[in-house]
Amino acid sequence: MAAASSTPTSALGRMWPWLAWALVILVADQITKSLILDAYRLGDATPITSFFNIVRAHNTGAAFSFLADAGGWQRWAFTGIGVAATLFIVWQLRAHPEQKLFCFALSSILGGAVGNVVDRLMHGYVVDFLDFYARGWHFPAFNLADSAITVGAVCLVLDELLRMKKAK
């Protein structure tokens, strides 16, 4: 029976919780973006606090609108990068399903990356709506997918630090 636990099917079975988490992120991301698209026109904003607005923004670039004015090719380049990242992450989830923090990080990044790829394919831009600012400082608007990617990246760093500490 022990040999059965190392079969590809069991590894695939152990990665389903991580794929389910990515799907939860993807669905939540797309629902919130749909609500924004339905309720706001581009540039509309609703102040929530003295440091936070809900706003409708379109990002044709990458993080912090990097390459947003590049002429259109970036839509397909960032879509391609997202697809490549998706394939790599699924491969890693399948190879390491027992590493909980690592897989949580990767599946969070996966859900966010796919959410933004869906936007690029459907709209030609990513819908952003979370807008933070304070005392002359303004953070670029972002969305739930971006938040999941950020949490995943932080967890990847933490996972590596813990792995290094354990190796000592």
- What lies within 8 Å, CB to CB, of 63 at 6+ separation is 146
Count how many Cα atoms sit within 13 Å of the Cα of residue 16 in the half-sphere of its side chain.
Answer: 6
Q: Which residues are catalytic?
A: 128, 146
Contact (Cβ atoms closer than 8 angstroms) between residue 42 and residue 58: yes
Burial of 106 (0-12, 13-18, 19+ CB in 10 A): buried
